[in-house]
Structure 1
Amino acid sequence: MMKHPVQIGFSQRVRLEWYESTANLVLAGNDEVSIYHILDEMLKETLSVVGNARRGTREKVITILMKIWVRPPRHLEDMKREGLQFLQRLSRRDRITVHWGMTMAVYPFWGTVATYVGRLLRLQGTATAGQVQRRVREQFGERSTVTRATQRVLRSFIDWGVLQETSERGSYAAGSVLDVTQRDVIAWLVEAALHAHQVRAAPLGTVLESTSLFPFRFSYLPPMRLVAESDRLDLLRYDLNQELITSRSNAPSVARSGGI
């Protein structure tokens, strides 16, 4: 498959409560224009100081929130609708799984940063900002925009409670780990991971053990049971002992360096 670079897109620190507010506005039936103006008013106090730069930051944050829960790419519309249904039934603590999955599907850069953070946590128990920055720059290039975007994603992870700062400056440890037991939510997150890593198919174990999902721990689910939970996933058996979970999405399929 042809390699294609992932665009950054997600370049701001975005709090979890802003996600909640945006999704609630959608669930309440507000139209796109109304949601934009409500978010703009809501964020004025937090992201508004004298000067164009901060006003630009507010607009960028709203753009991110709108792209995730209001107008995602067309191939993610069904995922959005199902994700909103999950938000209505899940507890506030469990809803992080849905916001995380939708973010990494819409903005693969989020999943890329998570992948490197998760790998470092798995290998050594901590991850430093410098280590993550170096790995992300190796993939995306030595650009100031890459450095800033990576730092803001890391700060978002801290805000969300999935990372916590240690006594050493710039060093992070794992935060809360959430057990995910609902079969339909697990299937939905598998689909999100396939989109985030921009692959059409992967072994189920590989997806569920992906470090891009480091804040979550999954109950075991046989592949056949998993695909039964989603109209958008299929099971492909490519030899006697190997099965792949595949996505039926019409999204462009591209290769990623570093694997899933």
Structure 2
Amino acid sequence: MGKRHEVIGIKQAIRFEWMQKAANLLLAGLGTKTIRQELHEFLAERKGNGCEGERSEQTRTFVVNNLMKIWVSPDPELLPFRDASLAFLREHPSMALAVHWGMISAVYPFWVNVARQTGRLLALQDQVTQAQIINRLKEQYGDRQTVSRYARFVIRSFVVWGVLKDSEAKGCYEKTAPVNIADINLAILMFESALLATPEAKGALGLLLNNPAFFPFQLPVMTGDLISQRSDRIDVVRYGLDDELLKLKGNQVRDGT
């Protein structure tokens, strides 16, 4: 398991418009140092709830570091995916929610794990509580205080992104209407993000199509053949009678094959 899959990383709620700002600065062709400075200035008078107001330098630095890590300076192994995501965002700005979801998922797999537990619970019930999500995460990460704290930041991010909504009861949430993903190339990018968030860098196509971590989205049904035709970063391996395994190319050493 690589370091990226071990760290939790998200130390503040990440607002959707902040992700947009980071991506737009990158699309504008600005350099790394300039983007960092612009983000600091942008966030200097914005609180975590999106309202104007002074914000401590430490919390601002946390958020800027997250945004830089997600879009501007991701790990080298994520650069091809980042570049493809950025190119798609440039051509299809209306699908920004799914693109940002994929990018933050690849960089911070903890986001995916919180989403997966949320999606599993929502498949069983109409509402989900913060406590239910955190209890499931503790089974995976252990009963650490940081897990509870950082999970709350991710859950709050889901709410401000509009994929969950607060219910009348405090700490209880409802699912919003899913975003329909009709573009096959975008769906493949989302599959790639899920593979990047998995230490083994592989997964069964059927499970990916029904991945609870994609609970905010309605993905199109597609075949492995179509994916292999459209993506030069994903291998499709057939096993059994009609099962297909998606596997990131260039991960032979990491997954032991």
Tell me if both proteins adopt one fold, taking TM over 0.5 as the criterion. yes
How many residue pairs match? The answer is 250
Distance 1:254 1:165 in 2: 40
2:62 alignment counterpart: 60
Distance 1:235 1:138 in 2: 32
Distance 1:101 1:57 in 2: 24
Kindly indicate whether the alpha-carbon contact (under 8 Å) linking 2:5 and 2:197 is maintained by their aligned counterparts in 1.
no
Distance 2:136 2:77 in 1: 29
Kindly indicate whether the alpha-carbon contact (under 8 Å) linking 1:233 and 1:247 is maintained by their aligned counterparts in 2.
yes
1:220 alignment counterpart: 221
Task: Point out the more displaced range, 194-203 or 27-36.
Answer: 194-203
What is the identity, as a one-letter code, of the residue corresponding to 1:151?
R
1:8 alignment counterpart: 8
What is the identity, as a one-letter code, of the residue corresponding to 1:44?
A
Distance 1:249 1:109 in 2: 23
What is the identity, as a one-letter code, of the residue corresponding to 2:162?
G
1:81 alignment counterpart: 83
Kindly indicate whether the alpha-carbon contact (under 8 Å) linking 1:227 and 1:233 is maintained by their aligned counterparts in 2.
yes
2:42 alignment counterpart: 42
Kindly indicate whether the alpha-carbon contact (under 8 Å) linking 2:106 and 2:196 is maintained by their aligned counterparts in 1.
yes
SS in structure 2 opposite 1:228?
Answer: helix
Distance 1:136 1:254 in 2: 24
Distance 1:77 1:26 in 2: 13
**What is the RMSD computed on CA atoms of the aligned residues?**
2.1
1:22 alignment counterpart: 22
Distance 1:115 1:185 in 2: 20
- State the TM-score, normalized to the length of structure 1: 0.90
2:74 alignment counterpart: 72
- State the TM-score, normalized to the length of structure 2: 0.91
**Which stretches of structure 1, 4 residues or longer, exceed 6 Å deviation after superposition?**
none
What is the identity, as a one-letter code, of the residue corresponding to 1:43?
L
Residue identity (%): 36
1:120 alignment counterpart: 121
Kindly indicate whether the alpha-carbon contact (under 8 Å) linking 1:164 and 1:173 is maintained by their aligned counterparts in 2.
yes
1:103 alignment counterpart: 104
CA distance 1:5–1:87, change in 2 (3 Å): closer
Which structure shows the higher helix fraction? Answer: 2
Kindly indicate whether the alpha-carbon contact (under 8 Å) linking 2:5 and 2:109 is maintained by their aligned counterparts in 1.
no
Kindly indicate whether the alpha-carbon contact (under 8 Å) linking 1:49 and 1:55 is maintained by their aligned counterparts in 2.
no
Q: Which runs of 5+ in 1 are unaligned?
A: 256-260
Distance 2:229 2:64 in 1: 35
What is the identity, as a one-letter code, of the residue corresponding to 1:179?
N
1:258 alignment counterpart: none
Kindly indicate whether the alpha-carbon contact (under 8 Å) linking 1:140 and 1:146 is maintained by their aligned counterparts in 2.
yes
CA distance 1:249–1:181, change in 2 (3 Å): farther
What is the identity, as a one-letter code, of the residue corresponding to 2:169?
E
Write the deviation string for residues 78-126 of structure 1: whole angstroms up to 9, x where unpaired: 000010111112243x210000001011000000000000000001121
SS in structure 1 opposite 2:61?
Answer: helix
What is the identity, as a one-letter code, of the residue corresponding to 1:110?
W
Distance 1:199 1:205 in 2: 17
What is the identity, as a one-letter code, of the residue corresponding to 1:20?
Q
